[in-house]
Amino acid sequence: MRANAINGAHLLILLASLALAGYAASFVLGDPLALIMLAWFLGAVIGHDLILFPIYALADRAADRLANLAPVSPLNYVRVPVLGTALTFVLFFPGIIGQGAPTYRAATGQTQEPYLVRWLILVGVLFATSGLCYAIRSYRARR
Amino acid sequence: MRGTMSARTQRWRPSGRGPAWRSPLRGPWLTSVFGAVLLATLPLVIITGLLDYLAYGPRFGQAIPGDVGWLHLPFFDWPTRPSWLFRLTQGLHVVLGLIVIPVVLAKLWSVIPRLFHWPPARSLVQVLERLTLLLLVGGILFEIATGVLNIQYDYLFGFSFYTAHYYGAWVFIGGFLAHVALKLPKMVRALRSRSLRTELRTSRANTEPEPRDPDGLVARGPRRPTMSRRGALGLVFGGSALLGVLSAGQTLGGASRSAAILLPRGRSYGDGPNDFQVNRTASAAAITPAATGSAWRLTLSGGGAPLRFDRTVLQAMPQHTAELPIACVEGWSTTQTWSGVRLRDLAALAGIPEPASAVVSSLERSGFNRVTLQANQVLDPESLLALRVNGAVLSPDHGFPARIIVPALPGVHCTKWVRSIEFRKP
């Protein structure tokens, strides 16, 4: 009896959620680019779950052998700057690769010229800091 | 060789249940920590986003998308006080929206075994739940992708940003509310299952997997930890901190602005009075020197016959100065000292001292070239038709010969290159 009530409540919540989403989606049905929006919506899920996740999971698996490379494992000292590099690239790639230059220029009156160098410096700082931390850690472990 | 192969096959297909998860950190407690952080922050991102829709003035038909049915917060007149209101709401929306990204990714990582769970559903309710999870995950990733591209003026997606981001938000809200309603008790139980303080003191060597859970988040054959939970939390929230440093400056301004090294609004324009962030250049708006030169006139209408003023006459009127932020939907802002004629003085001149609204038109022929201001936005003593900024004549990119500046009004509605103002009677 109680399980049925819980199941009923679950069902109601789920239906309400789907109804709200369906109602929101109904407003873009007439939009000539509605299919492209849907493609981006589904593409975002596929891009994350079936492309990005497997890539980083496999890359991390491949990096596993670093774990036993030295008395102090360098694994996390590689992971952290690599993740910082990937995160900043994925979020800020338009400036870094000069994507959307005309709209950027119209909006700001500037070019995207400095971003690539700035990002490379940021990446350099991430790796250098991590390397320095690793060196200090290894030195301490040896003593 | 053969041994490795069979070991691998076995690892990937233990009793045909999909990949074998190995992380010793995955488990309900860790998922719930990320979930709790998102539960505390995402409502703020959602509400500030929906408020920004109201700031555009949907009742005047100038919010985008136009007719949204029931999908909006209760309408109210967007206030002019505090003058930093839009700066705050939109700054929070964008900066917080960026800061949560690593937490969203970590949360997805922590529950990814559920995606490959076999069979995917055993009942109708489970099928529906999977569907709402698609709304939840697709919704947040879609909002992140469109939002992140928009703040960099990259319209790679081709469709209307406003329309897609607004309705995408409601799809996400549907998925989010259902997920919270269904999982909240589970989250609270999981959070109580371990002490955060203890976890923050546990080293990698002492890190043990969580007890096996019915949802299968905890790995069946976990490997030895390469990172403590403390380290994992530090990594994720460190990522958030990095994004905070890289983005907060575009709205906080001052010295912090230069830390926003990868965002358009972290850039400097120089040291002159007009050297601050431009939103849409005069050349992009096709504003010619001929249209803004000595032939330019401001037309005021609404009362009797339309009045026309040139710049000299406007400059001879009582001038007022206000230090006000200009804030944009991309979450950046900058505070400058503007001076010019009060809009309410112009309304009185036009013969309508208590207007119900005012329609401002720009010389620009496309884009945000027309805006309706509410009564409170016309009558605020700091609402100006600005002729100067920081003591200097406005530059072409900042709206020469005259622009609107109204406290707490979204930047795109602070019309540049003003051509006419029509005051409307109550």
Q: Specify whether B237 is located in the same domain as B302.
A: no
Q: Which range marks the domain in which residue B63 is found?
A: 13-255
Q: Specify whether A96 is located in the same domain as A141.
A: yes
Q: Specify whether A88 is located in the same domain as A139.
A: yes
Within an 8 Å CB–CB cutoff, is residue B286 touching chain A? no
Q: Specify whether A73 is located in the same domain as A143.
A: yes
Residues of A in contact with B268 (CB under 8 A): none
Judged by CB atoms closer than 8 Å, whether chains meet at B157 and A21 is answered as no
Please name the member of A28, A75, A107 whose beta carbon is closest to the beta carbon of B153. Answer: A107
d(CA B180, CA B368) in angstroms, rounded, equals 38
DSSP state of B251: H
Q: Specify whether B23 is located in the same domain as B144.
A: yes
List the strands of the sheet with B298-301, edge to edge: B307-309, B298-301, B418-424, B357-362, B370-374
CA A26 to chain centroid: 29
Shortest Cα distance, chain A CAs vs residue B97, angstroms: 12
pLDDT of residue A4: 78
Q: Is A119 strand, coil or helix?
A: helix
Q: Specify whether B20 is located in the same domain as B116.
A: yes
pLDDT in tens, chain A (143 residues): 567 777 889 999 999 999 999 999 999 999 999 999 999 999 999 999 999 999 999 999 999 888 888 889 999 999 999 999 999 999 999 999 999 999 999 999 999 999 999 999 999 999 999 999 999 999 999 87
Number of domains in chain A: 3
Q: Specify whether B216 is located in the same domain as B332.
A: no
Q: Specify whether A19 is located in the same domain as A50.
A: no
Number of domains in chain B: 2
Q: Which residues between 124 and 143 in chain A have a beta carbon less than 8 angstroms from any beta carbon of chain B?
A: none
Q: Specify whether A93 is located in the same domain as A116.
A: yes
Q: Specify whether A38 is located in the same domain as A17.
A: no
Q: Specify whether B249 is located in the same domain as B347.
A: no
d(CA B392, CA B405) in angstroms, rounded, equals 16
Q: Which range marks the domain in which residue A5 is found?
A: 1-29
Confirm whether B45 is domain-assigned.
yes
Q: Specify whether A3 is located in the same domain as A58.
A: no
Confirm whether B244 is domain-assigned.
yes
Q: Specify whether B225 is located in the same domain as B310.
A: no
Residues of B in contact with A100 (CB under 8 A): 149, 152-156
Q: Give exposure, B287-297, as e/b (b: 16+ Cβ within 10 Å).
A: beeeebeeebb
Shortest Cα distance, chain A CAs vs residue B261, angstroms: 7
Pairing of strands B418-424, B357-362: antiparallel
DSSP-H helix ranges across B253-387: 289-292, 311-316, 343-349, 375-379
Confirm whether B239 is domain-assigned.
yes
- ipTM score: 0.96
Q: Specify whether B148 is located in the same domain as B296.
A: no
pLDDT in tens, chain B (426 residues): 333 333 443 344 444 456 789 999 999 999 999 999 999 999 999 999 999 999 999 999 999 999 999 999 999 999 999 999 999 999 999 999 999 999 999 999 999 999 988 888 889 999 999 999 999 999 999 999 999 999 999 999 999 999 999 999 999 999 999 999 999 999 999 999 999 999 999 999 999 999 999 999 999 999 999 999 999 999 999 999 999 999 999 999 999 999 999 999 999 999 999 999 999 999 999 999 999 999 999 999 998 899 999 999 999 999 999 999 999 999 999 999 999 999 999 999 999 999 999 999 999 998 889 999 999 999 999 999 999 999 999 999 999 999 999 999 999 999 999 999 999 999
Q: Specify whether A74 is located in the same domain as A84.
A: yes
CA B225 to chain centroid: 37
Cβ burial of B337 (10 Å; 0-12, 13-18, 19+) is middle
DSSP state of B152: T
Which CATH number covers residue B394?
A: 3.90.420.10
Within an 8 Å CB–CB cutoff, is residue A55 touching chain B? no
Q: Specify whether A102 is located in the same domain as A125.
A: yes
Distances (CA, A) of B421 to B148, B296, B403: 35, 14, 11
d(CA A62, CA B148) in angstroms, rounded, equals 30
pLDDT of residue B14: 42
pLDDT of residue B339: 98
Q: Specify whether B161 is located in the same domain as B247.
A: yes
Q: Specify whether A124 is located in the same domain as A101.
A: yes
Q: Is B313 strand, coil or helix?
A: helix
Q: Decide which of A17, A45, A64 is a domain's last residue.
A: A64
The residues, any chain, with a CB within 8 Å of residue B147's CB and separated by 6 or more, are B94, B97, B165
pLDDT of residue A93: 98
Q: Specify whether A47 is located in the same domain as A93.
A: no
pLDDT of residue B17: 55
Confirm whether B58 is domain-assigned.
yes
pLDDT of residue A97: 97
Shortest Cα distance, chain A CAs vs residue B125, angstroms: 6
Confirm whether B262 is domain-assigned.
no
Q: Specify whether B223 is located in the same domain as B83.
A: yes
Within a 10 A sphere around the Cβ of B15, how many other Cβ atoms? 7
Q: Specify whether B76 is located in the same domain as B199.
A: yes
Q: Specify whether B170 is located in the same domain as B54.
A: yes
Pairs of residues, one from chain A and one from chain B, whose beta carbons lie less than 8 Å apart: 200
pLDDT of residue B128: 95
Confirm whether B237 is domain-assigned.
yes
Confirm whether B210 is domain-assigned.
yes
d(CA B360, CA B416) in angstroms, rounded, equals 10
d(CA B83, CA A85) in angstroms, rounded, equals 38
Q: Specify whether B216 is located in the same domain as B105.
A: yes
Confirm whether B189 is domain-assigned.
yes
Render B34-59 in DSSP notation, one character per residue: HHHHHHHHHHHHHHHHHHHHHHT-GG
CA A43 to chain centroid: 14
B3 backbone φψ class: left, alpha, beta (φ>0; ψ -120 to 50): alpha
Shortest Cα distance, chain A CAs vs residue B345, angstroms: 32
